[in-house]
Amino acid sequence: QVSLVESGGGSVQAGGSLRLSCVVSGYSFSTLCIGWFRQAPGKERERVAAICYGGSSTYYGDSVKGRFTISQDNAKSTVLLQMNSLKPEDTAIYYCAAQTLSSATYNYWGQGTQVTVSS
């Protein structure tokens, strides 16, 4: 069983930065993909970044490439999402999710953290 707890959301002005964290327990990073997703009202859920198998693979959505960086702190069992040059369109609830090797989908989800970017 994987447990994920997000934190770090908040309100910033456009151009500002936030760092989201996701504390992961229950599985080793070596057997997981950890993804960050976001959901804004009226929009489809979007995967913005992911890191898999101890950092051997990373993914970034086109909308955040060059602005967001995903990383992991193995000692703290935490996946980080550094969000720079934030735009109002980045406003959403951000969720951390995990995909285990036995699943074809992201099968564990955190509670979400609100990110609001004002113009």
36: nearest Cα among 17, 56, 20, 55? 20
Give the model's pLDDT for residue 39.
Answer: 98
Give the model's pLDDT for residue 28.
Answer: 84
**Number of neighbours of residue 31 by Cβ within 10 angstroms:** 15
Beta strands in the chain (DSSP E): 3-7, 10-13, 18-25, 32-39, 46-52, 57-60, 68-73, 78-83, 92-100, 108-109, 113-118
pLDDT in tens, 2-18: 899 999 999 999 999 99
Give the model's pLDDT for residue 101.
Answer: 87
The amino acid present at 75, given as its one-letter code, is A
How far apart CA 20 and CA 93 sit, in angstroms, is 11
Give the model's pLDDT for residue 3.
Answer: 94
What residues in the chain have per-residue pLDDT under 50? none
Residues 6+ apart with CB under 8 A from 28: 54
| Token pair listed for 5 | 């707890």
Give the model's pLDDT for residue 87.
Answer: 98
